Amino acid sequence: MIGNLLKRIGFTNNPARNRRNRAERLFAVLEDKGALVLDKAGLEMIGMSRKQAFQSVYDLMVAERIQMRAEADGRVVAMSNAAFNVLMEERASETWRNEAALLFAGSGGAIGSGGDGSDFLSAGRPILPERHRESWISFE
């Protein structure tokens, strides 16, 4: 019991061992750089072990102060909320540009080659017919 008490005092006195201080240090790095890859070089830059870094990342994620992504090549990237929002906006614009093939008419500003945008809305997919719905309240 006394050993646990001394260990707890030691953790609060040593900033590198205090979990809250590690999280604040990681958050400051992410706010400065925007994103950090949690590989060997990234861990050396922040001065933490892999376990300490992931504990800090999870603490900050639970508090919704940062975001974490796993890339397709297996890298784990921690990023600030601002950098994450920029990334999502770029992905959304790329999706609209590549997959939806939006064409803006020069004069009318309409979507697609037609003025009403019907070719864009259907995009080669079958369209369901309009359903007639009867009112559940009827007046006689």
Is 68:80 a contact under the CB 8 Å cutoff? no
The kind and range of the H/E element at 140 are none
Confidence of residue 51 (pLDDT cuts 50, 70, 90): very high
Looking at 21-35, 54-68, 90-104, 107-121, which range is the least confident one? 107-121
Would you list the domain boundaries of the chain?
A: 2-122
What digits encode the pLDDT tens for the residues 23-41? Answer: 999 999 999 999 999 999 9
- Residues 6+ away with beta carbon under 8 Å from 113: 103, 105, 119
CATH 1.10.10.10 fits 2-122, yes or no: yes
Q: Say what the pLDDT of residue 134 is.
A: 67
The kind and range of the H/E element at 123 are none
